[in-house]
Amino acid sequence: MKIAVNAKELKVDGACAFVPTMGALHAGHASLIKKAREYSDTVVVSIFINPLQFENKDDLAKYPRTPEFDIELASQAGATHLWLPTLDEIYPGEVQKISAGVLGDIYEGVKRPGHFDGVLTVVNRLFELAKPKWAIFGEKDFQQMTLIKSMKSDVEIIGAPTIRDTDGLALSSRNVRLSDPKAALVIYRALLAASKEKSIDSAREAMRGALASEAAFTLDYAEIINESNFEKAVQSDESKRAIIAGWVNGIRLIDNMPMNGGAQ
Ligand code: PAF
């Protein structure tokens, strides 16, 4: 695996598949890299902790950094190029921010104002520099993936399923900061409870009821949405998804699950 600190040094031949990350790689990222290999023999992984998407300076400072482990994982998973851009390469001058529009202001955007503008701005810049043909994003960050898909770009966006640990906890770089990982399992239980219900109202109730049963969990939102527009789902919607965000012992977690089997 070739390691480069600026895009020119990458010297990627032909169409590449791209996996942008902020590091602290885990099995979820490995699955994105493996997915990328289905599209191209040249897979570029970037690690760049983007200050623009952190509205909370403390969160940025505490974001886990595991460079040696990341290099090993990316290489084992099949990355051919690891790109570690500097702040100057990504933001050489005054930053022209991309607006995420109204979808950027709801759900994740409510508690994290400007977050999605920061995500779209960096993804657009990473695309400009790496020039991939495909880019892979995890469904775990469903609102992020939806916004990136709606961004104007020549890059084909590929979604990849959420990877969970054996207990169902969705893998996330934040999980290492969980002092009580068992309490976080309530999110998966709530999603499963919703997926077993026949109507949207009972799915929402089952999901919120399950979440309320865990004292260590503080709810941010739990909703059944129409996944194409993020409006509250109605019974006739084709693609519904349960989305949850909340706090477990000071760590903010998000998760989601398609409701195509249940909540019909
Ligand atoms: O999902 C992430 O890790 C980040 O939001 C991304 C897409 C790499 C942009 O910084």
What domains does the chain contain, in order, with CATH numbers? 4-160 (3.40.50.620), 173-257 (3.30.1300.10)
What pLDDT score was predicted for residue 59? 87
Residue 2: strand, helix, or coil:
strand
* pLDDT, averaged across the chain: 96
229 within 8 A of 239, measured Cβ to Cβ: no
What pLDDT score was predicted for residue 14? 85
Ligand 1 centroid–CA 201 distance in Å is 33
Report whether residue 20 contacts ligand 1, using a CB cutoff of 6 Å: yes
Ligand 1 centroid–CA 70 distance in Å is 15
Mean pLDDT of 40-52: 98
Q: pTM, whole model, 2 decimals?
A: 0.96
pLDDT in tens, 208-221: 999 999 999 999 99
pLDDT in tens, 195-210: 999 999 999 999 999 9
What pLDDT score was predicted for residue 264? 57
The residue assigned the tokens 């493996």 is 34
Q: pLDDT-based confidence at 236, cuts 50/70/90?
A: confident
Q: pLDDT-based confidence at 80, cuts 50/70/90?
A: very high
CA separation for the pair 42, 26 (Å, rounded):
20
Residue 155: strand, helix, or coil:
coil
